[in-house]
Chains A and B, each alone.
Chain A
Amino acid sequence: GNSVTQMEGPVTLSEEAFLTINCTYTATGYPSLFWYVQYPGEGLQLLLKATKADDKGSNKGFEATYRKETTSFHLEKGSVQVSDSAVYFCALSDSGAGSYQLTFGKGTKLSVIP
């Protein structure tokens, strides 16, 4: 079956530090990959996505590249801000295998301190 593994949190960084949150996946088909972000007290919001190998998704300074050879989709940002403090979820959708649901990782909590 499909699964998503992301690094355990929490992650605490100082403002302007470099961020990496690791995500690896297992899928039977050719999935689309997503990063969602959840700010305190809110629902999940789509942050970025990539739909095929070597695609790079980007938004708000965050980037992630779909690496089929390593089955990875690591999230990076060059300089984090306090406002980036949130929980980040990696997810996949394997519609080629006939499934239209998302498989989520457990989430990584990021705290950015001034």
Chain B
Amino acid sequence: DAGVIQSPRHEVTEMGQEVTLRCKPISGHDYLFWYRQTMMRGLELLIYFNNNVPIDDSGMPEDRFSAKMPNASFSTLKIQPSEPRDSAVYFCASSNRTKYNEQFFGPGTRLTVL
């Protein structure tokens, strides 16, 4: 299996621009998670889906952030408009309920907002 795939790996944009991060989970996994990692706040869970349905979005920082999962093999995290404080590494992870919820992480997208 190819593992969790994220794109792009690096994104540099200017303040005010829309940013879309993409994730393809491991085939057969029914949970998908979006995390953000910064030096100041560490690893934060933003939102997670079960069977393509958002279950808990309480970690989404504000209305500028939105996430979708139109099907079992694809999810997006969108920031509109982006701000410099959104600069971070964003990780996607997936899991299968029958495997004690061990999560498999993608390589991350490093976002820099100038």
User: Do A and B come from the same complex?
Assistant: yes
Report the nearest B residue to A34, measured CB to CB.
B102
Known: A32-B100, A93-B100, A95-B100. A100 touches B105 (CB 8 A): no
Contact call A43/B108, Cβ cutoff below 8 A: yes
Contact call B102/A101, Cβ cutoff below 8 A: no
Q: Is the interface of B mostly helix, strand, loop or mixed?
A: strand
Shortest distance between the CB of A41 and any CB in chain B (Å): 8
Query: Bound state CA distance, A34 and B102, in angstroms?
Result: 8
Report the nearest A residue to B105, measured CB to CB.
A43
Please give, as numbers and ranges, the residues of chain B lying within 8 Å of A69 by CB-CB distance.
none
Report the nearest A residue to B107, measured CB to CB.
A43
Residue tally, chain A, CB below 8 Å to B: 19
A-B contact count, CB below 8 Å? 54
Query: Bound state CA distance, A51 and B101, in angstroms?
Result: 10
Q: Using an 8 Å CB-CB cutoff, how does the interface string of A17-37 with B read, 1 for contact, 0 for none?
A: 000000000000000101010
Known: A43-B91, A93-B101. A101 touches B48 (CB 8 A): yes
Q: Using an 8 Å CB-CB cutoff, how does the interface string of A87-107 with B read, 1 for contact, 0 for none?
A: 001000101000011101011
Q: Given A43, A51, A107, which contacts B100 in the complex, CB threshold below 8 Å?
A: A51
22 example contacts (A-B, Cβ-Cβ < 8 A) are as follows: A42-B108, A43-B91, A44-B91, A44-B105, A46-B102, A49-B100, A51-B100, A93-B100, A93-B102, A95-B97, A100-B31, A100-B48, A100-B50, A100-B55, A100-B95, A100-B101, A101-B48, A102-B45, A102-B101, A102-B103, A106-B42, A107-B43
Extra 16 A-B pairs, beta carbons < 8 Å, given A44-B105, A95-B97, A101-B48: A42-B108, A43-B91, A43-B93, A43-B105, A43-B106, A43-B107, A45-B105, A46-B102, A49-B102, A51-B100, A93-B101, A101-B101, A102-B103, A104-B42, A106-B42, A107-B43
Q: Which residues of A contact B (CB under 8 A)?
A: 32, 34, 36, 42-46, 49, 51, 89, 93, 95, 100-102, 104, 106-107
